Amino acid sequence: MTNKPLTGVKVVDFTLFVAGPASAKMLADWGADVIKVEPLAGEPFRKTGLGQGIPCDDDFNPLWNYLNSNKRGITLDLKAVEGCAIMHKLLSQADVFVTNYQTGALERLGLDYETLEKQYPHLIWAQINGFGDIGPDKDNPGFDTIAFWGRSGAMIDQTEKGTTPIIPLIGFGDCTTGCSLTAGICAALYQKAKTGKGQKVMVALFAQAIWNLGTAFIETQFGGK
């Protein structure tokens, strides 16, 4: 990509697996300076390819590179004072914080929106989770198989009547939701350019699936099956 519209934008990428990394990858491809923060043992997705017969070597890891190329990286122990201090130095200089960790885990680390908004009012805080911020499922974990495919009905709607549900493609719902988060981040960057203020941007896997199925839901209201 020759045009880099996000050149100069600094992003702290505190994500794992697919949905969050996909969003940060798009920002990096569009020119943002993205620093991925991993635990000392490395992000779990570095080894996910092994279950699919994909190499996961340090010098050849196609699945990892697919979602994490064009990023810089650092490993931090965020339970240690030194690691926490480095993270906050990065956040103080960043425009965007991207995460798909569960909200409870972020609260324990002091990286939730309510905490960081007070410390860094310029920061755009962006999160993907399974089921949003409201309702009985808001604290439940949610990979795309359940939160995107299963709960929305998409998993069963793709099969013939009386047959078993499909096995969904790994990461399909994650990458779709990552695109929506990236769009929200770009809208927030546009507003920040005018006001200097950050804000919260959030997308849920379940909400993304409902949006994707919107035409089908409307059809059923008028007799469609």
DSSP H helices in the chain: 19-29, 62-68, 81-93, 103-109, 113-119, 154-157, 172-195, 205-212, 214-220
Residue 81 in tokens:
């004072």
Rounded Cα distance, 171 and 69, in Å: 17
Radius of gyration of the chain (CA): 18
Contact by Cβ (8 Å): 147, 208? no
Whether 57 is catalytic is no
| Tally of CB atoms within 10 A around 51 | 9
Residue 12 in tokens:
């702290």
Query: At a CB cut-off of 8 Å and minimum separation 6, what does 135 contact?
Result: none
Which of these is catalytic: 13, 95, 112, 174?
174
Residue 31: which region, alpha, beta or left (left: phi > 0; alpha: psi -120 to 50)? left
List the catalytic residues: 174
